Amino acid sequence: MQKIALLGAGRVGHAIACDLAANFSVSAFDIDNTALSELKGIKNVETYQIDLQNVDYNNLLNGFDMAISAVPGFMGFETLKRIIHTGINVVDISFFPEDPFELNDTALAKGVCAVVDCGVAPGMGNIILGRYNEIMKVHSYECLVGGLPVERQWPYQYKAGFSPIDVIEEYIRPARFIQNGRMVIKEALSDPELIRFDHIGTLESFNTDGLRTLMYTLKIPNMIEKTLRYPGSIEYLRVLRDSGFFSHDPVVIDGHSIKPIDLTSRLLFPLWKLEKGEADITVMRITIKGEADNSKTEIAFYLHDRHDEMNQISSMARTTGYTCTAVANLVLKGAYLNPGINPPEYLGRQKEHYDFILNYLKERNVIYIKEVKDVQ
């Protein structure tokens, strides 16, 4: 049985471990023993309490066939770098802010296939766009995506389906998108729009830095990704951000230096914690416009996913984690072994990979509904 090292056993890491354990041996590593305890007793899963920031990766990953990095974003780049240096293949969902292509030469030299940003968005959106960029002339791409609690609670109307510190990064990192062939940079939380979705109602979208590698790998004149929240949420976030509560710059209080974001995180994370069994949803709409067979075409993909009540797995963990495990299966089976840094859009180039991933998700009841329109 092939052996997988899972680095990070949080909510998404848990879903990854449970899914892969059906066919592989999984060793989960995390500093948080509470998270690891949730995996105790699952067949083919072993757990190890380890500080992943202070460990010899050559020893840690010796004997494994593959690694999956599900650490928080602030650890992601260095973790991926260390994994690549060991020479084993890796799938990464840490969504770190650094440019992954900085590690491309090392991955090529080591012969490592490193698939990055392999979640729902970035991730599945990239895979879908990568496929359609092969079969049509794409003029525009829009991805609207958000993970939300079913029950709206004042004031934030939000619960974090993944690392909360990475959620805050979405609100402070400048948002980049492509407009008329040029990169545009705006502050996060800008350009709010109210958009109606079936089964849920009106949501609010705003700019976040979600395009990532797409800005450099695909030559499409208009591309944007926006985050979805319940209406009204954005005002609370703007107040916190613009008042300095998300700042990394230390302030001195009674002789003690403290980063405002550390205090804010400590206060907000309990309020944003998605409790075990608490219902959540993932909403995504992808719109691709362009030309195919000399006709203008608009293709839309819709995702409306709900938590797995029976297995107590959140929707965000399912939609992110199962995209990751689908790609992990392709790598472990030798179906995808392209050396170097591989963003998800590369997987979408081949129809067989695209079909495999969509079918893998469908088998787990993560279903993307496609609509095609002829545009006059």
Q: Is residue 286 domain-shared with residue 159, that is, in the same domain?
A: yes
Q: Which of 306, 326, 355 is the last residue of a domain?
A: 306
Q: Using one digit for the tens of pLDDT, what is the confidence trace for 181-228?
A: 999 999 999 999 999 998 899 999 999 999 999 999 999 999 999 999
* pLDDT score, position 161: 61
CA-nearest of 70, 87, 82 to 11 is 70
Asked whether the predicted pLDDT for residue 166 surpasses 70, the reply is yes
Q: Is residue 24 domain-shared with residue 87, that is, in the same domain?
A: yes
* pLDDT score, position 376: 62
What is the SS3 assignment for 75?
Answer: helix
Q: Is residue 104 domain-shared with residue 130, that is, in the same domain?
A: no
166: in domain? yes
327: in domain? yes
374: in domain? no
What is the SS3 assignment for 357?
Answer: helix
Q: What is the number of structural domains in the chain? A: 2
CA-nearest of 110, 108, 100 to 79 is 100
> Residue 130 maps to which CATH number?
3.30.360.10
Q: What is the mean pLDDT of residues 250-265?
A: 92
Work out the angle at residue 324's Cα, subtended by the Cα atoms of residues 362 and 144, and round it to the nearest 5 degrees: 70
Q: Is residue 221 domain-shared with residue 363, that is, in the same domain?
A: no
Its pTM stands at 0.94
Q: Is residue 14 domain-shared with residue 114, that is, in the same domain?
A: yes
Q: Which of 276, 306, 336 is the last residue of a domain?
A: 306
Work out the angle at residue 283's Cα, subtended by the Cα atoms of residues 282 and 287, and round it to the nearest 5 degrees: 140
Q: Is residue 46 domain-shared with residue 186, that is, in the same domain?
A: no
17: in domain? yes
340: in domain? yes
Asked whether the predicted pLDDT for residue 278 surpasses 90, the reply is no
Q: 311 and 338 in contact (C-beta within 8 Å)? A: no
- Classify residue 52 by its DSSP letter: T
Q: Is residue 107 domain-shared with residue 201, that is, in the same domain?
A: no
Q: Is residue 261 domain-shared with residue 134, that is, in the same domain?
A: yes
Residue 363: how many other CB atoms lie within 10 Å: 10
Q: Using one digit for the tens of pLDDT, what is the confidence trace for 84-98?
A: 999 999 999 999 989
Q: 82 and 103 in contact (C-beta within 8 Å)? A: no
108: in domain? yes
Q: Is residue 236 domain-shared with residue 146, that is, in the same domain?
A: yes
Q: Is residue 298 domain-shared with residue 325, that is, in the same domain?
A: no
Out of 105-119, 265-279, 319-333, 337-351, pick the least confident.
265-279
Q: Which of 306, 340, 359 is the last residue of a domain?
A: 306
372: in domain? no
Q: What range does the domain containing 325 cover?
A: 3-120+315-367
Helix (H) or strand (E) holding 144: strand 137-149
Q: How close are the terminal C-alpha atoms of the chain, in Å?
A: 54
Q: Is residue 84 domain-shared with residue 201, that is, in the same domain?
A: no
Q: Between 340 and 376, whose confidence is greater? A: 340
- d(CA 152, CA 101) in angstroms, rounded, equals 39
Asked whether the predicted pLDDT for residue 162 surpasses 70, the reply is no
373: in domain? no
> Residue 86 maps to which CATH number?
3.40.50.720
Helix axes 315-332, 124-135, angle to 10 degrees: 60
Q: Is residue 103 domain-shared with residue 134, that is, in the same domain?
A: no
